[in-house]
Structure 1
Amino acid sequence: MPTGPADSVSEQPSPPEREDTAAGDGRGAPPRAGLAFAVLGIVQATLIFTITLISVPLPVIGREFGIGTTELVLVTAAYGLPYSGLLLFGGRLADRYGGRRVFVTGLVVFGLASALAALAPNAETLVAVRFTQGIGAAMTAPAALAVLRAVFTEPAAFGRAMATWGGVSVLGSALGTLVSGTVTTWVSWRWMFAVPVLVAVVGLAVTRGLLPAGPADDGSRARPGLDPVGAVLATIGISVGSYGLILTGDHPWTSAAVLVPLVVGVVLVVAFLAVERRVRDPLLPPGFTLEPRRLVGLAGMLLAAAGVGLVTFLLSIYLQQERGWTPLETTGAFLPFTVALILTSRAMGPVVGRFGAHKATVAGLVIGAAGLALLAGVGRDTTFVLGMMPGLILLPVGLSLVFSGSAVLSTAGVPPHQAGLAGGVMNTAMELGPTVGLAALMSVAATRADVVAGYGWAYGTAGAVYLAAALAAVALVRPDRPVSDGPARAETAPAGAAPR
C-alpha cells in the first residue's frame, strides 16, 4: 500500500472517480481540460524549441553576418541567459498577479521578439531580440504551469497532467534540432522563427475563452511580495554564472573570461540565498528545494536536460566536422532519437502511474546510463546504424522516464498559490542542465588528445553520473517517506495516466 504522497496513487491504478476527474467531470478540471493542456503544452515545447532552432544553422548565420565564434556564442546564449536567470522572478510574478495574466504578457513579448528576430538585419539586432525572447519565455513558462494548476484543481488530476508535462519540453528541444536543418537547407534559417510567432498568436487567441483564472487572477487570495532584491541577485547571478560556463567552450577554466563571471555569479547566488532567509516573502523559500522527493525531481530534471544538450551538441559537431555530413544529413541523424522521444513520451503517463514517480525516475536514470554507455564507444570509423543508433534509441527511453517522473516529484506537495514558484524552480533546473552539464562534460572531453575519443569520454562520464544519481535517489528517498511541506501536503500531486 503506497504511503508516499508523490506516489500515493502512482503505485496502483487510479480509482475510477479520479480518472473521470482528469477527463473533466467538473470536480477536478473543466470540460475542455484536455484542450487547455494541449495549448499549454505546445507553448511550453515552443519555448524550448526556440533555444535550439538556430543550433544547426549557426555556421550559416555566421557566414551571412560575417561574424566569428565569439559572436555566435552570444547569438546562442542571448535567449538562454535571461530565460534561465529570470524564471524564479517569472514564477513570483505568476503567483502575485495571476498565471493567466502573466502568461498573456509573456507570450506577447515572446511573439513580438520572435517576429523581429526573423527580420534581424545584423548580428547585434539578432542578439538583442533573442534576449527579449528570453525575457518573454521566462514569464511564460512558470505562468503556464500556474495556469495548468488552475485547470487541474484536483491533486490526482494535476499529478496525471504533470506525468505527461514532463516529456513536453524535451520534445521541443529535439524538434528544434530536427526542423532547423531541414528549413535551413530548403528555405532560410529566418523561417524558423515563424514557429514561435504562430504559436504565440494561437495561444493568445484562445487564452481568455479556454484557460481559467487562478486565485491571484481574480483577487481571491492575498498577493506575495515581489522580493526585488532577491530577484535582482538571482537573475544576475544565474545569468552571469551561466555565461561564464558557456565561455568554457572557447576559453580555459583558469582564464579571466571564465573565472570572473563564474566567481561573480557564485557570489551573487550565495548573497541571494542569504537574503532569502531574511525577507518576509522570499522568492525562493528556504528549504523549498531540499525536500528529498523534490530534490530528486529537480536533480533528475537537470540531468535529463543535460543529457539532451550533450547529445544534441556532440552528435551535430561529430557528424558535420568529423564525418563531413551536411546540415540536412545531420538533421536526419536526429530522427531516430526524436521518434523514440515522441513514442516513449506518450506512454510515460501510464508507466509513471503504474510504477510511481520515484521508481520511474530511478529506472530512467539507469536506462539513460545504458544508452550513454553505448554512445561512449564512438570512434572515427563508427557506423551510424550499428554503432550509434542503438544508443540514440535507448537513451530517449530513459530520458522520457526521468522527465516524466521528475516533473511529478518536482511539483509534489505544492499548493495552487505556489504553482508559479514550482514552475520557476523546475524550469530553472531544466535550463541550467545543458549549460552546467555541457561545460563540465566538454572539459572531460578536452582531457583526451584525440577529439573523438574525448566525445566518448564525455558520454561515458555522463553515464556514470546518471548511475550515481540513481543510487543517490534510492538512498535519499525511502518508499514510505512523506512530502513534508506542512499545509501544502494536502495539495500533493500523485502521478497517473496522461490527462484526457
Structure 2
Amino acid sequence: MSVTTTTRGSFVLLGVVQAVLIFTIMILTVPLPLVARELGLGPSDVLLLSAAYGLSFAALLLLGGRLTDRHGGRRMLRWGLALLAVASVACALATDYPVLLASRFVQGAGAALTAPAAVAVVRRLHPEPAAYRRAMATWGGLSVLGATAGSVVSGPVAAVVSWRWLFAVPVLVALAGLLRCGRLPDPAPASRRPALDLRGALLATTGVCAVSYALVASTEHGWGSPGVLAPLAAGLLLLLAFAAAEHRTADPLLPPGFLADRRRATALVTVMATSAGTALVFVLLSLYLQQLRGWSAADTSAAFLPYAVALLLSGRLAGPLIARYGPVPVTAAGLALEGAGLGLLAGLDPGSPYPTGLLPGLLLLPVGAAASFAGAAVLATGGVAPERTGLAAGVFNTAMELGPTAGLAALMALAATRPTVVGGYAAAFAAAAAGLALIAVAVAVLPGRSVPDTTSAGTTSAGTITTAAERTTAPERTTRIKEFTP
C-alpha cells in the first residue's frame, strides 16, 4: 500500500471521528421527547440532559489541547476514543436518568480529548503547509456534516428501533479509531514539553462550564432567574481570573497574544456564528414541525434530507474554491449565503408550505455553512507552529461548541419577546441573518495575505517537521509574523 493511500485512509478515518463527535451532540435533539417520556423526565432534567455532552466538551477543550501538545496526538487520541466508547456504551445501557446524564458528561470529556488530538495527527499526516491548509479546508465542513447526520438519522432510528441504538455509532467509530491508532504518525516527545498549567485548566474549565450552563438554562428560566444569574456571574468571574492568571504564568494554557491575531479572531467569530446559525435551524424547525405542525420525529428528520444533500455537494467544492481564491473571500461568501438562507426562513408563518416556505432556505443555508466553516478552519489554524497545533484545535472546537450555546440563548430570548411562537422563531431567524451579514463584511475586509510558507524545512531533535520560521525563538517568531501582518 502506497504512502499516499495510507495517508488518505488515515485522514478519512480521522474525519469520520470528527464528524461523529458532533453527530453525538445531535443524536438526542430530535428524539428527546421520547427519552423524556421513557425516563419520566421533567423540564429541568431534559434541559440538563440536552446540554450535558456539549457542556463538558466545550469546558475541557483547552485542557485537551494542552494535553495533546504535551503528550502527542496519537496517545491522547487513543485515550479520548477509549473514554468515548466506554461512555457511549453506558449511555446505551442506562436505565435511569442519573446514569444517562453522567455518561453524557463523560462522553463530552472523551470528545474534548479526541478533537484536538485528531487535528494534531492530521498535521503530522500533512506536514507541508499547503497540504495542511487543504486538509483543514475539508476538516472545517465535517462538523456541520456530523450535526446534519445526527438530526437526519436520529428520528428514524428512535422511531423504528430505539434511541439507545444511536449510541452504537460513536462506539463503532471509536473502536475503528483505536484499531488504527498504532498506524498513525506521531512525533517523538519534544525536548521541552509545555507545562500542564493546572490552575489555568481548572479556572477555564469551571468558568466555561458555568457560563455555558447559565446560557442554556436561560432559555427555560429567563435571564432574571437566580438559577441563571448565579452561574453566569460565577462563570464570568472565573474566566476573568483565568485571564489574569494566564498573564502571570510562564507557560499559559492560552497565551494572551494567541487571540490577538485579527484573522484568527475573526475566523473564530465566524465559527461561532456559523455553528449558531445551523443549530438554530435544527432546533427551531424541529420544534416547529413537531410541536406546531404535528409532524413525527421520522418526518422531521426527513425534512432535513435536502439540507444534507446540499451540504455534501457544497462541501466537496469548498476545498478547491479555497485553493483557488483563498480562505477570506470563500468565508465571506459563505457567511453571506448562510445569512440569505436564514433570511428566507425569517418568512416563517404557521402555515408555511415545506416546498416553498422551508426548502429554499434549507438548500441555501448549507451551501454557505460549508464554505464558511471550511474557510474559517484554514484561517483559525493557519500560521500556528506544530507544537501549538493542539492549542489551535482546542480553541477552534471551543468556538464551535460555544457558538450554539451563546447564540441560541440570545436568539431564544429575542424570540420570547414576540407575541406568538412562530413570530418569535421568524424574528430569531431574521436576527441571525443580520448578524451573519455583518460578520461577512468584517471577513471581507480582512487582508487576503497570510504568513507566507517558507521553502526551507528541517527537523527538530524531537523529530517534528518545522519551517525555518518555526525554528526561531519566540521573540524572533513574533517579529517575523508582525512583518507580514498589516
Q: TM-score range by the shorter chain?
A: over 0.9
Q: What does residue 339 of structure 2 align with?
A: 369
Following superposition, the deviation at residue 436 of structure 1 comes to 0.4
**Could you give the per-residue CA deviations for residues 31-66 of structure 1, whole angstroms, max 9, x where no partner exists?**
521111101100011110000001111111111111
- Residues 146 and 123 (structure 1), Cα distance of their counterparts in 2 relative to 1, 3 Å cut: same
Q: Does 1:262 align with 2:262?
A: no
Q: What does residue 299 of structure 1 align with?
A: 269
Contact residue 415 and residue 488 of structure 1 kept, 8 A: no
Task: Give the alignment partner of residue 487 of structure 1, picking from 477, 482, 485.
Answer: 477
Within 5 A, what are the aligned runs for 1:246-395? 246-395=216-365
Contact residue 414 and residue 488 of structure 1 kept, 8 A: no
**Could you give the per-residue CA deviations for residues 286-333 of structure 1, whole angstroms, max 9, x where no partner exists?**
121120111121111111110111001001000001101011110111
SS in 1 for 2:152: helix
Q: Does 1:229 align with 2:199?
A: yes
Task: Give the alignment partner of residue 130 of structure 1, picking from 83, 104, 107.
Answer: 104
Q: Within 2, Cα distance between the matches of 1:45 and 1:478?
A: 30
Task: Give the alignment partner of residue 128 of structure 2, picking from 146, 154, 176.
Answer: 154
Following superposition, the deviation at residue 478 of structure 1 comes to 2.3
Q: What does residue 60 of structure 1 align with?
A: 34
Q: Within 2, Cα distance between the matches of 1:304 and 1:399?
A: 6
**Could you give the per-residue CA deviations for residues 161-211 of structure 1, whole angstroms, max 9, x where no partner exists?**
0010000111111100110001011100000000000001111001112x1
> Which residue identity lines up with residue 212 of structure 1 in the other structure?
P
Q: Does 1:470 align with 2:412?
A: no
Within 5 A, what are the aligned runs for 1:71-220? 71-209=45-183, 211-214=184-187, 218-220=188-190
Q: What does residue 7 of structure 1 align with?
A: none
Q: Within 2, Cα distance between the matches of 1:220 and 1:118?
A: 39
Q: Within 2, Cα distance between the matches of 1:47 and 1:35?
A: 19
Q: Within 1, Cα distance between the matches of 2:282 and 2:104?
A: 20
Contact residue 237 and residue 266 of structure 1 kept, 8 A: yes
Residue identity over aligned pairs, in percent, reads 50
Q: Within 2, Cα distance between the matches of 1:349 and 1:479?
A: 17
Q: Within 1, Cα distance between the matches of 2:59 and 2:23?
A: 18
SS in 2 for 1:344: helix
SS in 1 for 2:41: coil
SS in 1 for 2:430: helix
Q: What does residue 394 of structure 2 align with?
A: 424
SS in 1 for 2:347: coil
Q: Within 1, Cα distance between the matches of 2:157 and 2:403?
A: 27
Contact residue 43 and residue 200 of structure 1 kept, 8 A: yes
**Could you give the per-residue CA deviations for residues 233-253 of structure 1, whole angstroms, max 9, x where no partner exists?**
000000110000000111110
Following superposition, the deviation at residue 428 of structure 1 comes to 0.1
Q: Does 1:449 align with 2:457?
A: no
Contact residue 297 and residue 410 of structure 1 kept, 8 A: yes
Higher relative contact order (CA 8 A, sep 6+): 1
> Which residue identity lines up with residue 320 of structure 2 in the other structure?
P
> Which residue identity lines up with residue 237 of structure 2 in the other structure?
V
Contact residue 411 and residue 422 of structure 1 kept, 8 A: yes
Task: Give the alignment partner of residue 69 of structure 1, picking from 18, 43, 58.
Answer: 43
Q: Within 1, Cα distance between the matches of 2:480 and 2:122?
A: 18
Q: CA RMSD in A?
A: 1.7
SS in 1 for 2:221: coil
**Could you give the per-residue CA deviations for residues 9-29 of structure 1, whole angstroms, max 9, x where no partner exists?**
xxxxxxxxxxxxxxx87xxxx
Structure 1 segments unaligned to the other structure (5+ residues): 1-23, 492-500
Q: Within 1, Cα distance between the matches of 2:450 and 2:322?
A: 18
Contact residue 383 and residue 451 of structure 2 kept, 8 A: no
The farther-off stretch of 284-293 and 427-436 is: 284-293
Following superposition, the deviation at residue 221 of structure 1 comes to 3.4
> Which residue identity lines up with residue 167 of structure 1 in the other structure?
G
Following superposition, the deviation at residue 220 of structure 1 comes to 3.8
Task: Give the alignment partner of residue 439 of structure 1, picking from 399, 409, 429.
Answer: 409
Q: Within 2, Cα distance between the matches of 1:254 and 1:75?
A: 22
> Which residue identity lines up with residue 412 of structure 1 in the other structure?
G
TM-score, structure 2 as length reference: 0.92
> Which residue identity lines up with residue 123 of structure 1 in the other structure?
Y
SS in 2 for 1:221: coil
**Could you give the per-residue CA deviations for residues 458-483 of structure 1, whole angstroms, max 9, x where no partner exists?**
000000001111122234x2234658
Contact residue 414 and residue 489 of structure 1 kept, 8 A: no
Contact residue 200 and residue 252 of structure 2 kept, 8 A: yes
Task: Give the alignment partner of residue 244 of structure 1, picking from 209, 214, 218.
Answer: 214
Q: What does residue 9 of structure 1 align with?
A: none
Within 5 A, what are the aligned runs for 1:45-56? 45-56=19-30
Q: What does residue 430 of structure 2 align with?
A: 460
Contact residue 271 and residue 376 of structure 2 kept, 8 A: yes
Contact residue 364 and residue 398 of structure 1 kept, 8 A: yes
Q: Within 2, Cα distance between the matches of 1:348 and 1:32?
A: 24
Q: Within 2, Cα distance between the matches of 1:481 and 1:144?
A: 24
Following superposition, the deviation at residue 488 of structure 1 comes to 7.7
Structure 2 segments unaligned to the other structure (5+ residues): 453-468, 482-486
> Which residue identity lines up with residue 114 of structure 1 in the other structure?
S
Contact residue 57 and residue 111 of structure 2 kept, 8 A: yes
> Which residue identity lines up with residue 124 of structure 1 in the other structure?
P
